[in-house]
Chains A and B, each alone.
Chain A
Amino acid sequence: MKLDIQGLSFAFGTKPVLKEISFDVPHGEFLGLMGPNGSGKTTLLRCIMNYLVPGMGSISIDEKPLDSFSPVALARTFAVVPQSSATDFTFSSYDIVMMGRIPHMASRLSGTSKADTVAVRKAMERTNTWQFAGRAFAELSGGERQRVIIARAIAQQPKALLLDEPTVYLDISGQIEIMDLLKKLNRDDGITVVAVLHDINLAARYCDRIALLSDGRLETIGLPADVLTPEMIQSVYGVDVAVRRDPFTGSIYVMPRSPVAAVHRHGTRVHILCGGGTGGPIMKALHDQGYSVTAGVVNVLDSDYENAKDMHIPVVAEAPFAPISQENHEENLRLIDESVAVVVSPFPVGPGNLLNLEAAKRALSLGKKVLLVRPESSANIDFVNGKGDAYIKDLISSGADAVRSTDELVSMLSGKAG
């Protein structure tokens, strides 16, 4: 089943909701519809299922216009899983799934056929809901209920599933359960899936493509990695994010950062000696306070390297897994020299990066303010037989200040160096 949308516009009264949307969904695709609240995702889904009739534009299924389908033919093409399916009436789960057979009934007076019971049982077994077939739908948990609704959609034997935020009220295990189920239906049965999704990471992991809507327009459509860029998310959602790759699935994931009110960029230079991902929170905190932050020396592939890159912080980078070279050490010292203060993050100390502590010592001798971040609960981070700890003790006795948290660091800096 190929879905083709051309120049679709829709308005509630005079308020335009969808503006000239065009895209197509090839057979067997798993498409995610995304966008901020009020961007028109649900309305678009309702237009596709012909529940709302667009003012302009056309929707066609396999080159045939949507309005040439009878309601029953349409019901055999699309099965819809709406956002919520609450009911005050005591239907059993079996009753609910059996409703999916309505488009297949031979006539209004015909009873339940063998094909109906078989389809219902199969749908309930696939969604792992058969064991509570007799239980009241209203008494099920959110995840169980959603699975029953999906079973109803499967019993409908559609060519495509349209889902409106299928995981919205579910906990994390429920979300994964539902998304895995949809992926399986998509892959094994060739059912095309079009789902409105809010969770960017779930969408990135499960969707073949993502269509991003913004204010009723189709902003972009494409592979998750091409659509979900920090720039695009910033422009559509207005949120600052970092995009990373999941080491296990290879799909991208997105980490939002709190939106920061514009700060006075006083530009006081602070250099951070870090590594092993311990520098990220410090970079973020100081950057948000308006400091000009630099960092070093970290290995490429270290998450502190990615943290610095995300925040456009100048960083002295060493080749992956290589010890700090003399050349980079010099560069590190140059940045320290340009700074007012130096912060030492609680990074793990090994033979490769001992020079970072040496750099801290040099900073003290240059008369720089040196601050050591030492969380009380920190694990042993010395992998050089006490050499690292010795360095730290030496630094403190030579006049470096130890702080316990990033917050303490910020107030210390603003009191003395800001």
Chain B
Amino acid sequence: MTKFETTTAVDFVVIGAGAAGGVVAKELSTAGFQVVVLEQGPYLRAEDFDHDELKRKWLFAPPYIGQDVLTNDHALQPNTFRKTEKEKAKIFPSVQYGRCVGGGSVHFTANFWRFHEIDFMERSRWGAVEGAGLADWPITYADLEPYYTKAEWDLGVSGLAGASPFDPPRSKPYPLPPLPVKSSGVLLDRAAQKLGLHSFPAPLAILSQPYRGRAACHHCGFCIFFGCEWGAKSSALASVIPMAEDTGRCEIRSGSYVSRISTDKRGRVDGVAYFDLQRNEQFQKAKAVVLCANGAESPRLLLLSKSNLFPDGLANSNGLVGKYLMFDTDSGATGIFEHPLNEYKSVVVSRVIHDFYDADPKRGYYGGGGIDARLGSYPIEFALFALSPDTPKWGTGFKKALRDDYNRTLMVFTHLTSLPVEANSITLDPEVKDAWGLPAMRVTYKNHPDDLKNMAFFTEKALELLEAAGAQKKWPVPPHESEVSVHLMGTCRMGNDPKTSVTNKYHRAHDVPNLFIVDGSSFVTSGRNQPTCTIQALAYRAADNIARMAKSGEIPSST
């Protein structure tokens, strides 16, 4: 195992070993550079993963039970939350992200949708949205396409190219065929056909066949919020992290909680301060830093990295670090069918609908989304949250519903746009501290009114699909303001203008020549709330350019 001295400047420190950091570490170490990856969470292996529902933290409804085994620990790392800047933020578990080597890609559903061409230019096409900072990306789909392809082939993605008439152009098919269709997929197909819509096999970062020495999916059914014990989910842990370590030039230093990115008197990054597992302060010297800590922790860390040269936080001369936070925005409806679906088996989703992906002026607001169908809960969670609203809470009727409905229930789930609003933000809480004595993350978030209109539109679509699929009974998830999110986007947006963005189109901080930021924070718009594929494509593109710049001496270091 490669080990680097903290006192010798390595070529790159990557902060965060998740979806983005794993890719950047693999690409830069493969290109010949020395890389230290600092990850706050543990280095778990496939054999550490299990099917224990009580080890999973439920954040989406009280009583927030379970344990933070794969995710950030709110007992140690409290968030505070408020809807608007006028309110005093209260301690509330608002943000959930992967906290282990592999990050959120370890426990994600593995929905792996590319963005469409429209996602990168919605401001030009749609125009301004009042109360929102809708903007074009500084890159186009065509710029990113080679890296989407690279991600799909490097990580291992299953899907069927051309199956969706709304698919953006692609240079190569998927490396693996789709996973087998489930009952949810057959029902979504049936409904789509009736309604004149176009369902297609879900692109998933899960192996449908053995690939590059890794086992195929065994259909155990524990994807979302669980690590894959077969290594079939194409997490950074299962795919790129081993490749990075195999170069002999990459050290994954888990249990390293970063407290500050350090800069010299010329304003260049010279290293990273972090707490080791014993909570002793360490300092890793670095020639350059790539920040991949996720859309909530990356801006927090920049704000924590204040200095005389950067009094408002690093890379924040325009005050935009932490702003334009975009959050999980979703809606749906649930139905009960006549026959057993057994949705607890296999991957979460097998069919997707993108007919309503684009915003449509006829709807009278900005917003779009994608649709899938899934059970959406494990047994305990099902009994607590997923039964139809008229079910008794206990007693004979409750038990009957548990018995009859667990295997016949299906949720049509919709993944929606979240408009970038400047007031929605990650800031430092002025009072609450984390277990390391650092200011806690303060989340300010209130949905733009168009997000709520979009939820209502998609709830209706979900009900129509359930009806067309033949549900015996159905009920909506009422549109609700987002307070909790696992998809964290937009807080260090990329752009060409240093006045209106935090990084340039190569992810270099406008203010700091040897600091790069690449993760969900780089997003300018939210896509349709399925960000991981694009986070990883951006990471491949960023790493490609960073390696090129480093080789040609375009990244000045402190020393």
- The answer to whether A binds B is no
- Interface residue ranges, A against B (CB under 8 Å): none
- Interface residue ranges, B against A (CB under 8 Å): none
